[in-house]
Amino acid sequence: MNNEAMICRVALACLVVFLFSAGCQESESPSSPPQAHLVAEPNPVPAGIDLGKTTISWSITGNPRGYISISIDGEEPRIFAEFDQPGSQEAAWIEQGSAYEFRLYQESNPTTPLKTLTVAREKTRVTANGETTGTISAKPNPVPAGPGPGATTISWVLSEGEKAQIFVSTGGEEEEKLFAEVATSGAREVDWVSDDRIRFRLYDGHSKEALLDEVFVTRSKTAAQP
């Protein structure tokens, strides 16, 4: 066998090995994730007195089985919807001051979300001549954990000449109770904070139809380390 024939055989063998290796690497490479669609309409959710509403819509190319999880304010996720085709579902419990994170998963890959969406609600402000007419806040918030009820101070700021009412509800209850009627900016201590979330709402003094602002008071689940 002459040298030229030997060189050709060696070159051909190298080419076969190269093509085989490239084919293996290509077959072992992970496939691209399918295209996915996850939106909320409207987002942010308009402010108002009642709980806000938005519609979550989704789709995944090829229509594989999948699901959407939701986490509220960083809490443990739970299932919002399961599906095997494009669809939508209403979320009719959106509150001001909370963040709602929706994650879209393909059932065959439950560890990596295809899409992530955060929904929030607009913070209400009633303005007169371009100025905010009322705000309400709590400090500390969240209230530190500890034995017995916790305490926080509710503060409100009103424009001059404004009158307002503050109502409170506890533990997600819809019924509100009058907390205070005010005509000037001020503050009041609340020394009965439990593990239930408490909502304070500041309304225009003439009608509960005009919500000026609101604040949610929560309590830490673990005591602060010394």
Strand partners, 168: 177, 200
pTM score of the predicted model: 0.52
Average pLDDT, the chain: 82
- Domains defined for the chain, CATH in brackets: 36-119 (2.60.40.10), 127-217 (2.60.40.10)
Q: Where are the alpha helices (DSSP H) in the chain?
A: 3-28
Phi-psi region of 62 (alpha: psi -120 to 50; beta: other; left: phi over 0): left
pLDDT tens for each residue of 165-221: 999 998 777 789 999 999 888 999 999 998 888 999 998 877 776 788 888 999 987
Q: Which residues contact 213 (CB under 8 A, 6 or more apart)?
A: 123, 124, 125, 134, 135, 136, 201, 202
Q: Are 149 and 187 in contact (CB under 8 A)?
A: no
pLDDT tens for each residue of 94-148: 987 788 999 999 999 999 999 999 999 876 554 545 455 788 899 999 999 988 9
Kindly tell me if the per-residue pLDDT of 29 is higher than 50: no
